[in-house]
Structure 1
Amino acid sequence: MSANKLRHLELSMGHINATQFSLKQGGGSRLNIPHRLNRKTHAQKLRHQLEEIRNTHDNDSVFAIKFSGQANMDFLFEELDKSAYKMELLSIKKVDGVISANVRVDSTITFDKLSSALQNYVNPKPRNGKEVQNPLPYIASIERIERVSIDSFFTDDISLLPMDNNPHWWEVWLTNKTKLSVRDLFIKTAIHEGLSVNRKPISFYDRTIFLCEATKEKLSAFVQKCNVIAEIRIAKKAKTAIVNSTYAEQESLMDSLLKKTTYPHNNNTRIVVLDGNYIVRHPLLSNALIRNQQADYRFSLDNQDEHATEIGGLALFGNIAVARQYETIVLRHKIEGVQVLDGILDFPELYGRITESAVQITNDNTNSAYIMPVSETFGDKHKGKPSSWSACMDRITFERQKLFAASVGNVNGIIKSNNYEQEQRNSCIESPAQAWNILSVGSYTQLCDANLGGIQGVIPYANAGDISPHSRTSCLFESQWPIKPEVLFEGGNKIVAANGEVMTHDAFDLVSCAKDFRTKLFTNIYGTSASVGLAGQFIGELMAEYPAFWPETIRGLIVHSATWTESMVAKRPNPYTKKDIMNLSRIFGHGVPDLEKAKYSASNALTLIAQKDFQVFAFKLDENDVPTKEKTSQILIFPLPWPIDVLQGELHDKLIKLKITLSYFIKPNPSERGYSTKYAYQSHNLRFDIQRPTETKEDFERRINNAIDIEENENNENSKVRLIHQDNLNWFYGAKSNSRTKGSIHKDVLEITGAQLATMQNIAIYSVAGWWKHRKTISADDTRTRFSLIIDIDAGDIDIDLYTQIQTLIPNLITI
């Protein structure tokens, strides 16, 4: 018999040294830019437009102008970021196929430099004695140059731009690339123009974000006078999902739960609930509740619609309707509450800053994680693009090395069953759940018994194991953004009435502790808020089991343990492609986590875990091996402790499941400048790959170098990228379809014979470009981060002790 509940095996990687990427960069895809039949005419048009703008400004002023490309054509806006021309790319947007760029210019230099460039475009100097056929293609890609307006700077969904002239709160994003103090300049100018300003901004590497109140007309005038504005977005309000509460259980149920519950004696592991009110000292929660605090002292505690107590109950006990069936309950973590929003006073705030405050006041405990069942109004309009709140969440996780779990938001309203599935796919995940580093939690359901409701003529909407009708998806995300949610927890079901209406019903909700426990002890809760409460319970159990594991590892283990249910697998077309898998991942993520698999290995199904500090970029060496200022990617290749004799012998023709998960945190740099390599949101990207059965070690190293070269020099959708990853191995996600390279957590699964696995003896972790690499102000020595690598091999029903054999081999690993 196979032994279960074995602690995972850890791989020490202290002896593994990185090697540099060693291929010359090159390549590039063909550009789809307008073909200008008469370069002189095109240059004259642009010069005239520049002169019109120049004549409306002082000769020594700094301001922004707008460049636009031609509809459905490439626009080389990155070429407009020229320090020698005193030009700074501020933001870009795309409307009806036309890409436009807002560029900060200095009238003392920029116009003369652009005039010279236009002259070189018309009369290019010969190159190697030959006429240049397509000189300065970025000028050919420019269709129009004009003054900026508030519409130019507005980078939110255009439907959010107010049409009235009432006062509204705005997010004003400022450039930090100036010798002036952007904070002082902005506040001074805003006050002079009569704008109300919240003086507590959020700052990133390139951007500082303020909230200000103004009418659209007043803000339009302001953008012409404040020359450090990079972009403008509408300010959002925080909201929570609605709780449907009824009288639940009698006092005898609570007494029963109290008698069989063992509370933790220490508070080293805790789950912090960030919500709209305090967690009350309910009889079931009091012994595990550390404290309550407010992220802002001005918050009101009078809001009774919030559900911090219900979330806290789920984070400790899970669904009470399930917990009541247990013979004993042993709690291994405690809870803490922080109020992060105010539903009564409703004063404007940057919720990223509020979240930072919440972490600051709870940072006295190192072994804590945060769960957040709140989201923004209009938060679904981002469609994967970073918001100020989500970017702040990414910065907090990176800098403070904390784990966050956030709900993806609920599908609201009563919708007819015949269009509900499509409505759900069109209901985009709400901010801040698009953050790369956090665990974004959606809902699935097993509450599918038609007899639960006790109402004739109604049926459950979702089948057992399917996505909950409450849960949102990332189907509308642009392709470069992470797959969200990563995982699903129980979130309840809905019912379908005879007339086709879809609605909530108490019987298909979860049960938790009620905040007004003097009138009722238990209440109903549903949706993704309930799911993130259950995620908190899962995280607390895992952190208590492995207190030394990094947040990256805890997140990795949760995703690593997740699988699609039978209902999810059944949604695949027949036959299906990797693109189908990626599309379904935008709905189901990686599936439903399994706590036992996340916590324990078995003798025939074991988990290897490696935690490694890693400098992702190094100073490139010249031909004499002397470091230069240029940065290059780093590669780690290390051996795997496979029991070769067993794999080639007893398991030779048996199928083994290999599962790999790579988890790390990125440092964000939000700005609406296209999120290309130079302006990437993420500081870096990491990838994993494993030696193929037919490869030598040298072939493997060569392929990794080729992969870096192609990914850094071509668009990820290019066929060359797919070619470099092409092999005969049937990975579940597959790097070929790029689903394995989204976000900052990457996972894949492969079924392979023991004989094949025996030859896959090395694994590589390597970096590819992010903004760290392409910023001259960032030294290679400052690109140190860390990652967690999780590897499973599972022999299924075969009774064999792989665990002991691999445990014996680990100390004997040698450096490659």
Structure 2
Amino acid sequence: MMERNERKKRHFILGSIAEPERFSRPQRIIEQGKVPERDRQRHGAALLGQVEALKPEMLAAREAQEEVGLDGGFGLQVEFESFPDIDLAFESLARERSGIELQNVRHQDQRTYATVFVPDGKLEHFEGLIRDYLEEKRDKAGRARDHKTLINAIQQIRAASLRALWTDDLQVFPATDDETFWWEVWLPVCGDRAGTVANFRSLAEAQDLQVAPGELEFPERTVLLAHASASQMRRSMMTINSIAELRRAKETAEFFHALPPQEQPEWLEELLGRTRFTRPDEAVPHVCLLDTGVNNGHPLIAPALADRDLHTVEPAWGTDDTYGHGTAMAGLALAGNLAESLDSGAPIEIGHRLESVKLLPLDGANAGDARHHGYLTTEAVARPEITSPHRRRVFSMAVTAKDYRDHGRPSAWSAAIDRLAADAEEYGGTPRLLIVSAGNIDDPNAWVEYPYSNETDGIHDPGQAWNALTVGACTDLIHITEPDAGDYQSIAPVGGLSPFSTTSLTWQPRWPLKPDVVFEGGNAAKDAFGAVWLPSLSLLTSYHVPSRRLFTTTNATSAATALAGGMAARLMSVYPELWPESIRALMVHSAEWTDTMRSMFLPAREKPSKKDFENLVRHCGFGVPDLDRALWSLSNSLTMVVEEHLYPFKREAHKQPALKDMHLHRLPWPLVELEELGEARVEMRVTLSYFIEPNPSERGFRSRYRYESHGLRFDVKRPSESEDDFRARINAAARNEEEGTRSRGDDPGWVIGIQNRHKGSLHSDIWQGSAADLASRGILAVYPAVGWWKTHTRMERYDTAARYSLVVSIRAPEIEVDLYNAVANLITTPVAVEH
């Protein structure tokens, strides 16, 4: 927390200070991974025989497709299997001009499996590749054109089975042919999105598949829900040949039941007497809760939530909250933990208001509605925006799926969150801030195993969304006051991770560092017989039936997410001009790990490694945000915010797209003051926040089918570097990103380090060292990394601008020095900038 006696100062919101520079790409010869040689004649003949065996299946597929009324688009799904421990060059299987399209890629048992749609008459393409291989074909210049790298990697070619289209966790693959459930059906666009969807719906209906209304649209995929048995889906594969992927649709998590405290209506009257609310007509930020609805008849909520701001995704559900979860979240988002407010007696000023969209029916499970959650969430976001399109708002959603089988991999739901945040529908015109919960560990048996249960319970869908602020739970609540709970002890220590909080420890390393932050989510208690949750270890909030009682308790990541929404709204009130990317960045930038978190998840050695800190982030995010630190600078602790646009890629004439610009930021730097501090220990923190446009499909995360539209990275000039040396290092780093190789020579002063921090679309790191060392680090680079805007040329997005927010802080918390005014003087003095 900030010193109480220090006068708070507004952060520096800098103008356009970036200097765009074109890349000068260093040359490097890349040695391709070797594929073992095969007996060319035997191997080629075997593959030719496998392709020949596909011809009667192709004929049967065409006849079946004609029989159901198709007049075009005939073809067969074909699966290619690699040899063990060989990376199949799956991208070279596709020939999109010929209609041969890669549908999905899977990795299992050290093999690569690729499913490809082959149009009727196009099997000859693969026959041609194999014959070139058998003949050791060369061009006129004598260069090999025999495709041996591809052909030597393929062990088997066969008609695709239902399993070939399954890209979900194998543990949820249907156990029997009779099992009936909702399937996520991922369709390719095939040059005609509407036609592909219409054909699927028509054919599915003819096959007695029930298809839910609504769909999710991504650049190269459309996702629908279909209700069918495995046998129905298998029989339909021959006629419905447009399916790229199949996954099992998810059910939403059951919400906990609140254990209400004793009614104390006089507390609320006293609280309302010292609380100032904004008027309905004031242009203030709103926290929009996507939940079970909110009952705005509650005396605490009524002044902040107008009837016109109550919405629902399904008119038959109404807007009221019959379950209680949404109203509980409303109290926290508006006024925080009421136990603290009621106990303080201090005046309270609430500078934001609420909106509500009922996303779930009363049971909180959505079992009776077939429409999938990504589509419903998209609909929910649209409701208040139609009513009040120019309102500044933050969306808060504590709804998650019951399972966590994605392990960080994008899902239809998380990709929909990313698409909404980036405003991909309108090409980034109005990005949104979405805050989502990490999901809860709700098994008391698991709480007893704390904190090991946190490591094995992964963050729930859609908490893996790159663009969302994903919120986990911590706790300071350890005092048990129930008179009949004398044998219980609180499970988590003060300042520790909450027993309810999920983590990303089980994710593959390439996926984002989640959660991003943690907020208070309450604690659990245990005795010799097991674990329970108790009101005294929970947060106090508003009850949904005020005629019965005014207060109830709530906990876990839902409560933490509501608190995060309230903090975001407070930041937006003070800095109304800042982008959503900047608000997200400031919340993460203000976060710190507690001493308890460090002792729990960092090894007990003098200097933990960067990998150790990555492990800490995957448990606790970047720590607990601090509202004062997010809002204000001090004399010896200043923050600068830069908002910029960068063109990451370019395409010239008929060349392939290439990297275009990087930005050099020459920050207003208190050079003299830092040099005078000499060897005194100081800290610099950098946070880079941007929104990617998602393109989900299971076709390889480092291929041209990447999920993210683009990536951005940051680095800081080192004391020993000249500016030209720094520029050359950034060019090399961008090249390494493009080629998927590691940059060497990580700066030891960084806590997380360049190898670990650049995951997802939110990057934060802390540099620690001497003030004299920091004095020469006033130049910072932001540079692009490859994404599908560059690699997918037919989408023609390679000339799109990417906007980003950059937050940089200098902190000398133990030293009396006026760094703030030194920077303020530099900003007011005109500085010539060369472009």
TM bracket (short chain): over 0.9
Quote the residue 1:317 is aligned against.
335
Quote the residue 1:614 is aligned against.
646
Do the aligned residues in 2 keep the contact of 1:638 with 1:815 (CA within 8 Å)? no
For residues 402-413 of structure 1, what are the structure 2 equivalents within 5 Å?
402-413=432-443
Quote the residue 1:654 is aligned against.
680
1:179 positional shift: 4.6
Tell me whether 784-793 or 575-584 shows the greater mean CA deviation.
Answer: 575-584
Task: Note closer, same or farther for the CA distance 1:24–1:50 as it changes in structure 2 (3 Å cut).
Answer: farther
3-state DSSP class of the match of 1:217? helix
| C-alpha distance in 2 between matches for 1:145 and 1:424 | 42
Q: Does 1:236 align with 2:250?
A: yes
In structure 2, which of residues 529, 535, 555 is the aligned counterpart of residue 506 of structure 1? 535
3-state DSSP class of the match of 1:324? helix
Task: Note closer, same or farther for the CA distance 1:197–1:561 as it changes in structure 2 (3 Å cut).
Answer: same
| C-alpha distance in 2 between matches for 1:52 and 1:426 | 45
Tell me whether 67-76 or 748-757 shows the greater mean CA deviation.
Answer: 67-76
Quote the residue 2:664 is aligned against.
637
| C-alpha distance in 1 between matches for 2:573 and 2:552 | 28
Do the aligned residues in 1 keep the contact of 2:287 with 2:354 (CA within 8 Å)? yes
% identical equivalent positions: 31
Quote the residue 2:180 is aligned against.
167
Quote the residue 1:289 is aligned against.
305
TM-score, normalisation: structure 1: 0.94
| C-alpha distance in 2 between matches for 1:742 and 1:513 | 38
What is the number of residues matched between the two proteins? 796
Quote the residue 2:427 is aligned against.
none
Q: Does 1:280 align with 2:281?
A: no
Quote the residue 1:694 is aligned against.
720
TM-score, normalisation: structure 2: 0.92
Q: Deviations over 1:67-103 (max 9, x none)?
A: 1112333222122122355421101122333221110
Quote the residue 1:553 is aligned against.
582
Do the aligned residues in 1 keep the contact of 2:649 with 2:657 (CA within 8 Å)? no
The AA in structure 2 aligned to 1:41 is R
| C-alpha distance in 2 between matches for 1:273 and 1:599 | 23
Quote the residue 1:496 is aligned against.
526
The AA in structure 2 aligned to 1:156 is D
Quote the residue 1:589 is aligned against.
621
Task: Note closer, same or farther for the CA distance 1:652–1:420 as it changes in structure 2 (3 Å cut).
Answer: closer
Quote the residue 2:804 is aligned against.
787
The AA in structure 2 aligned to 1:258 is L
Quote the residue 1:681 is aligned against.
707
1:134 positional shift: 9.1
Q: Deviations over 1:539-590 (max 9, x none)?
A: 1111111111100000000000001100111131133321121122111110
Task: Note closer, same or farther for the CA distance 1:505–1:191 as it changes in structure 2 (3 Å cut).
Answer: same
Q: Deviations over 1:759-792 (max 9, x none)?
A: 1131111111000011112446641121000000
Do the aligned residues in 2 keep the contact of 1:248 with 1:521 (CA within 8 Å)? no
The AA in structure 2 aligned to 1:356 is T
| C-alpha distance in 2 between matches for 1:760 and 1:52 | 65
The AA in structure 2 aligned to 1:526 is N
For residues 380-779 of structure 1, what are the structure 2 equivalents within 5 Å?
380-399=404-423, 400-415=430-445, 419-449=449-479, 455-499=485-529, 501-570=530-599, 571-575=601-605, 576-619=608-651, 628=655, 630-649=657-676, 651-715=677-741, 721-723=742-744, 725-727=745-747, 729-735=748-754, 738-779=755-796
| C-alpha distance in 2 between matches for 1:483 and 1:235 | 25
Quote the residue 1:209 is aligned against.
223
Tell me whether 70-79 or 265-274 shows the greater mean CA deviation.
Answer: 70-79
3-state DSSP class of the match of 2:502? coil
Q: Does 1:41 align with 2:67?
A: no
1:642 positional shift: 1.0
Gaps of 5+ in 1: 621-625, 716-720
Task: Note closer, same or farther for the CA distance 1:517–1:224 as it changes in structure 2 (3 Å cut).
Answer: same
| C-alpha distance in 1 between matches for 2:253 and 2:58 | 44
Quote the residue 1:304 is aligned against.
322
| C-alpha distance in 2 between matches for 1:347 and 1:470 | 28
Tell me whether 174-183 or 704-713 shows the greater mean CA deviation.
Answer: 174-183
3-state DSSP class of the match of 1:101? strand
Q: Does 1:373 align with 2:398?
A: yes
| C-alpha distance in 1 between matches for 2:557 and 2:262 | 21
3-state DSSP class of the match of 2:8? coil
1:359 positional shift: 1.6
The AA in structure 2 aligned to 1:158 is L
Do the aligned residues in 1 keep the contact of 2:328 with 2:554 (CA within 8 Å)? yes
For residues 95-106 of structure 1, what are the structure 2 equivalents within 5 Å?
95-106=108-119
3-state DSSP class of the match of 1:220? helix
Quote the residue 1:815 is aligned against.
833
Task: Note closer, same or farther for the CA distance 1:134–1:566 as it changes in structure 2 (3 Å cut).
Answer: farther
| C-alpha distance in 1 between matches for 2:803 and 2:316 | 38
Do the aligned residues in 2 keep the contact of 1:121 with 1:135 (CA within 8 Å)? yes
Do the aligned residues in 1 keep the contact of 2:501 with 2:556 (CA within 8 Å)? yes
In structure 1, which of residues 344, 357, 360 is the aligned counterpart of residue 382 of structure 2? 360
1:162 positional shift: 2.3
Quote the residue 1:718 is aligned against.
none
1:30 positional shift: 4.7
3-state DSSP class of the match of 2:58? coil
Quote the residue 1:255 is aligned against.
269
Task: Note closer, same or farther for the CA distance 1:135–1:814 as it changes in structure 2 (3 Å cut).
Answer: same
The AA in structure 1 aligned to 2:635 is S
The AA in structure 2 aligned to 1:560 is H
1:684 positional shift: 0.2
Do the aligned residues in 2 keep the contact of 1:32 with 1:74 (CA within 8 Å)? no
The AA in structure 2 aligned to 1:387 is S
Do the aligned residues in 2 keep the contact of 1:633 with 1:766 (CA within 8 Å)? no
The AA in structure 1 aligned to 2:760 is G
1:486 positional shift: 0.3
Do the aligned residues in 2 keep the contact of 1:67 with 1:102 (CA within 8 Å)? yes
Q: Deviations over 1:412-441 (max 9, x none)?
A: 212166633322211111111110000000
Tell me whether 163-172 or 366-375 shows the greater mean CA deviation.
Answer: 163-172
The AA in structure 1 aligned to 2:149 is P
3-state DSSP class of the match of 1:247? coil
| C-alpha distance in 2 between matches for 1:244 and 1:318 | 17
In structure 1, which of residues 348, 354, 363 is the aligned counterpart of residue 370 of structure 2? 348
Task: Note closer, same or farther for the CA distance 1:193–1:773 as it changes in structure 2 (3 Å cut).
Answer: same
Do the aligned residues in 1 keep the contact of 2:284 with 2:351 (CA within 8 Å)? no
1:699 positional shift: 0.3
